[in-house]
Amino acid sequence: MELIDGKFLSNEIKLEIAAEVKELKEKEAKIPHLAAVLVGEDPASQSYVRSKVRSCEQVGFKSTLIREDSSITEEELLLIIEKLNKDDDIDGFIVQLPLPRHINDDKITLAIDPKKDVDGFHPMNFGRMAQGMPCFLPATPFGILQMLDRYNIEVEGKECVVLGRSNIVGTPISILLSRKARPGNATVQLCHSRTKDLPMHTRRADILISALGIPNFVKADMVKEGAVVIDVGINRIDDANAKRGYRLVGDVDFEAVAPKCSYITPVPGGVGLMTVTSLLKNTLMACKGEIYPD
Ligand code: L34
């Protein structure tokens, strides 16, 4: 069993990005600038956005954090997005999810200029992704592709099972892995809450990707010997003995499943960290106009 080390990979990618930023600075070209909008006080969102801002500093990007109270109205948030769309210095921006219940996520996503949509959530980017056109890939699936690629894990022709059909992970990664591309060319099955006899499906998987958000859901008897297991779940479990009062666990019962795997991602230290570096990669591409040349 080999661990797919998200910490190592994300540091490696950050070094590559930092080297590119250094070149941009030497050429006196524009420096990438990412803005993040954080609404409310959700502790997990605060920690993820902090990590995004810190990562910008590490690679030499400019960053802007816009913090708003959870009482902000949809109209006010749309005005902020309008301003970010028009601000020439901002190459890309994100609105961290989840948003308070009185705000319609779809309306917010649609308001973001696809050229600045470094989360890759806008239907324009999603549609381009589905058709294999240049686009901003959603950060978590992009991070998973990087993990498979950088560990030289063969995907072509493999049976791949994805658990969960969210717009930001399950659905896009299932499309990406079935595309005629590298990594890609897998035979993909997308399983969800209405799937019958789930273990029958998961046991066939050469590559199993879980993006459910249910702690320790994937048990050893659901996994084939030698499978590659990618755990996207980041679940906070109360733990009085832990320093922060909780600990993080994935969707996969790691202790029991890991010995059966050829490769497995840990939580923490796996896919989550790759989500952040993929956002940086998208922001760099936005700055260089690589996806949408003017
Ligand atoms: N708009 N909303 C928008 N874009 C995103 O890409 C996200 N996501 C998801 C939630 N909402 C979003 C994130 O940023 C999940 N996510 C995310 C980002 C970073 C990490 C996890 C999820 C991460 O850094 N995880 C670390 C440790 C986290 C901790 O200590 O709490 C890890 O090692 O997994």
Pair of tokens at residue 7: 């910490």
Pocket flag, ligand 1, residue 97 (CB < 6 Å): yes
Span from the CA of 197 to the centroid of ligand 1 (angstroms): 30
Residue 293: what pLDDT? 94
Instruction: Indicate the pLDDT class of residue 102, thresholds 50, 70 and 90.
Output: very high
Q: Return the CATH number of the domain spanning residue range 139-273.
A: 3.40.50.720
Ligand 1 centre to CA of 272 (Å) is: 5
Ligand 1 within 6 A of 269 CB? yes
Residue 199 has pLDDT above 90, yes or no: yes
Which residue has a Cα nearest atom 11 of ligand 1?
Answer: 97
pLDDT confidence band for 294 (50 / 70 / 90): confident
Q: Where are the domains of the chain?
A: 27-114, 139-273
* 27-114 and 139-273: identical CATH topology: yes
- Tokens read off for 51: 């990590």
For range 17-38, the mean pLDDT: 98
46 alpha carbon – ligand 1 mean position (Å): 10
| Residue 209 host element (H or E) | strand 207-210
CB proximity list for 244: less than 8 A, separation 6 or greater: none
pTM of the model: 0.98
User: CA-to-CA distance for 101 and 131, rounded, in angstroms?
Assistant: 32
Please report, as a single letter, which amino acid is at residue 139.
A
* Confidence tier at 139 by pLDDT (50, 70, 90): very high
Task: Give the per-residue pLDDT at 173.
Answer: 98
First to last CA, the chain: 47
pLDDT at 124 over 90: yes
User: Of the residues 93, 112, 236, 275, which should be mutated to test ligand 1's pocket, given the most ligand atoms within 8 Å of the CB?
Assistant: 275
Confirm if 135 and 291 have CB atoms less than 8 A apart. Answer: yes
Look up the CATH superfamily of 27-114.
Answer: Leucine Dehydrogenase, chain A, domain 1 (3.40.50.10860)
Asked if residues 121 and 138 have their Cβ atoms less than 8 Å apart, the reply is yes
Measured at the CA of 25, the angle between CA 20 and CA 26, to 5 degrees, comes to 95
Catalytic residue among 91, 117, 119, 253: 119
Q: What's the rounded mean pLDDT across residues 228-253?
A: 96
